[in-house]
Amino acid sequence: MTATASSMIDPFGRAIEYLRVSVTDRCDFRCTYCMAEDMTFLPKKDLLSLEELDRLCTAFIEKGVKKLRLTGGEPLVRKNIMHLVRELSRHLKSGALDELTLTTNGSQLARFAGELADCGVKRINVSLDTLDPDKFRQITRWGHFGRVMEGLEAAERAGLKVKINAVALKGFNDAEIPDMLRWAHGRGMDLTLIETMPMGEIDADRTDQYLPLSLMRSMLEREFTLTDIPFKTGGPARYVEVGETGGRLGFITPMTHNFCESCNRVRLTCTGTLYMCLGQEDAADLRAPLRASEGNELLAQAIDEAIGRKPKGHDFIIDRRTQRPSVSRHMSVTGG
């Protein structure tokens, strides 16, 4: 199949060039806004093999995907995950893929940062919501702060560019964001703030956690000079430059200002389910056509049909009247 940059166009004229792949729904943390503490994970037999994930990713790359992000759960807890990264790196060498990257909680980076860099990964996102070790343990339930710091140091040594992703949570880390900003920029890392999203049943009340980033930006502007810039990484963040630090700060605002009009992304789960929108339940099964034949004709047809159903946007709501999550699946199922 000949790769064309425009072979996946959705009903609203958006070219789909970015695939996010959840390689596992499992995680070694249990972040309170993401998972229940007592999670039931998929049986291993339901997961696509690493070879099947490679074949699926390759089919999307042949259809025009230029950016591929591995997510989870925690992608680096998937057994033999570096085999998949190494296989996918051939598309960087051929020029078919512009970027191979991943989002991680940092717990396994001390083990894998060097190998990721060797495979052509240039930058990674690390999810980190606080610099206070006690609060870190509280929000991750099982996380080890020191291990994440060691992972960040390993990433730095390996030459990986790191962006810190922090979910802004009212009454938990909102007062800490200025210090996190100075810390990240002092280490040459960008920081992106994310609004919490109503996905999956969790043990906490999201109305108590939810902090609009418009409010967070106003709070930050009392201390910092924030200038809007057109910088883009291919994802949904809108960026500002921080005058006092010289670094970049991103805002991902699925609640207060959705970014659907420019959405170029689809998400693939570790069972071969394709979600055309993070905030909608509509999905396509790609596992069946993948396994139905050795060729990719059925798979290509299924992908085309799914892209033809990509919705215009999502309808997330968090308020006192809306007690149920907008989407029943947890974020770890779809991939961050």
pLDDT band (50, 70, 90) for residue 255: low
> Is 57 flagged in the annotation as binding?
no
> Is 277 flagged in the annotation as binding?
yes
> Is 270 flagged in the annotation as binding?
no
- The pLDDT score that the predictor gives to residue 244 is 98
pLDDT surpassing 50 at residue 45: yes
Q: For the residues 154-163, what does the mean pLDDT come to?
A: 98
> Which residue reads 């730095």 in tokens?
156
> Is 207 flagged in the annotation as binding?
no
> Is 266 flagged in the annotation as binding?
yes
Contact 128, 164 (CB under 8 A): yes
Amino acid present at 29: F
- The pLDDT score that the predictor gives to residue 43 is 85
Fold category of 18-334 in CATH: TIM Barrel (3.20.20)
> Is 103 flagged in the annotation as binding?
yes
Side-chain half-sphere exposure of 155, counting CA atoms within 13 A: 29
Side-chain half-sphere exposure of 40, counting CA atoms within 13 A: 2
Q: What is the pTM of this model?
A: 0.86
> Is 79 flagged in the annotation as binding?
no
- The pLDDT score that the predictor gives to residue 41 is 80
> Is 127 flagged in the annotation as binding?
yes
> Is 240 flagged in the annotation as binding?
no
> Is 73 flagged in the annotation as binding?
yes
> Is 31 flagged in the annotation as binding?
yes
- The pLDDT score that the predictor gives to residue 184 is 98
- The pLDDT score that the predictor gives to residue 314 is 54
- The pLDDT score that the predictor gives to residue 177 is 97
- The pLDDT score that the predictor gives to residue 2 is 44
> Is 320 flagged in the annotation as binding?
no
**Domain residue spans of the chain:** 18-334
Contact 10, 313 (CB under 8 A): no
> Is 8 flagged in the annotation as binding?
no
